[in-house]
């Protein structure tokens, strides 16, 4: 089965971001550092940076992230990229809690609430600069 998953890029805060997302979304987090793979040729000062991190949430979302070592060019998140967290009526409490935690310290907040088209909807750019969109359908 082919899957499409968000892969977030950070300069040097991937571990902090992934641990925050785990506290928000739950799930199992697996992190590999550049030091775990010396063949990557990372600068010795960057051995603790995340080469690959993967969060598997209880609801089936896979969120991946990495730090950008000095051997690569860092590209900051843009407003054109959004992580969408969506669900149905049974997911309202989970998505509402995730929205509230991601909005804490976030910017560009569009309150999560009932939208004109009948779904619950909201948006936020979290403290790491990642833009999230939330949509929960109603019965």
CATH at 59 = 3.10.180.10
Q: Residue 36 in 3-state DSSP?
A: helix
Residue 114 domain boundaries = 82-136
Q: Lowest mean pLDDT of 10-14, 76-80, 114-118, name the range.
A: 76-80
Helix axes 92-103, 14-25, angle to 10 degrees: 140
- Flag whether 62 is in a domain: yes
Pair 62, 13 in one domain? yes
Q: Residue 131 in 3-state DSSP?
A: strand
Residue 1 pLDDT: 66
Residue scoring higher pLDDT (33 or 139): 33
Q: How far is CA 89 from the centre of its chain?
A: 22
Q: What is the number of domains present in the chain?
A: 2
pLDDT tens, residue by residue, 101-122: 999 999 988 999 999 999 999 9
Global pTM reads 0.90
Pair 95, 51 in one domain? no
């Amino acid at each position: 089965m082919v899957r499409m998953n968000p892969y977030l890029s950070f300069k040097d805060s991937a571990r902090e971001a992934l641990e925050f997302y785990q506290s928000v979304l739950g799930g199992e987090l697996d992190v590999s550092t550049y030091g775990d793979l010396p063949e990557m040729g990372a600068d010795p000062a960057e051995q603790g940076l995340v080469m690959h991190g993967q969060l598997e949430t209880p609801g089936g979302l896979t969120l991946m992230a990495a730090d950008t070592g000095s051997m690569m060019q860092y590209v900051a998140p843009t407003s054109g990229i959004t992580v969408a967290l969506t669900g149905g009526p049974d997911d309202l409490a989970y998505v509402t809690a995730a929205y509230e935690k991601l909005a804490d310290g976030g910017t560009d907040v569009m309150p999560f609430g009932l939208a004109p088209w009948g779904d619950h909807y909201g948006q936020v750019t979290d403290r790491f600069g990642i833009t999230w969109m939330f949509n929960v359908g109603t019965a």
